[in-house]
Structure 1
Amino acid sequence: MPDSTPGEHLSHDDFATRHAPMPIELPFDDEEASTSVDLKTQLIRFVATGALSAVFDFGLTLLLQEAFGAPFWLAKAAGFILGTTIAYLINRRWTFRAEPSKARFVAVVLLYAVTFFVNVGLYNWLMHEWGTAFLMVALAFCIAQGVATAINFIVQRAVIFKIK
């Protein structure tokens, strides 16, 4: 923006041609978005992204359960929301290399709603069945996360990131 002196009105003509800002983008690569990434690359990237997201999910889940005494379902729900938000932002741009799309976003929200109930429900059920020993917590988390991750990958690859 040009320098101005106090009280001087700035011209806002340049705003007439500007677009609304895009959502936060993660700088994984500089190539244009393309859904032509091969299955092996997508799977490796999806697993790497999932591992990173799971660290945040599990960390918040444990923190809320252990430090704040939150119920299993509430702790896992908060962890799931944090983890899936991170995963979506990375997967859309890096794993599936897809441009932003309102239709795709709505499809992701619906998919995440389904996997939310699968993940949280399975985790809650296993915690009540197995107890709260750390090994059981970790195992219940991995099983619930694994089932939700499999559903997510299949639906995202086959449906969501093919939406224009």
Structure 2
Amino acid sequence: MGMGLHGGFGNSRGSRLIKKSAKKGKLSSIKASYTRDSLIRELDGHTNTSTELAKRIRIGDIHINVLGDDLFERYTGSDKDTLAVAIGKNLYLRRSSASIVSDMVHEGKHALDYISGINTNEIQTWPGEIRAYKAEREFQIKTKRPVDFINENDLLVHVWKNYKREV
């Protein structure tokens, strides 16, 4: 069951964004329950990005949708390794993700970029992914969560290997 679906993406541009900006990772066997307010509290006050994201969710500029595995895969067209997707101002999060709050920061950075008027081609290629992964890593460090990348060089290598340089 989701937290609400705010808009869709029936065009090819949205589908292309999913395939290029989706975050991959590990799933958890724990079935956690999340509310909009609990997720906002998890974000607020830790980093500039997470705090801005919490504010934008609170005022309705960015929408979060936490979906079960089947619905997440059907709705986003993603594979089983994809944890989260940003489509414009909408964040789609896989409920079973072991890192759902960090995923929100990563995809939320894409949504903040979108709101700021950054071109979607930039958001879904190296520059946008580097910004998103850096924001996520900073949040992980500040909140003492498991860190995906030991250092910034590892982060950059990951982006260079897994995302397109340009569209």
**TM-score computed with the length of structure 2 as normaliser:** 0.27
The structure with the largest alpha-carbon Rg is 1
Higher helix share: 1
Taking structure 1 as the reference length, what is the TM-score of the superposition? 0.27
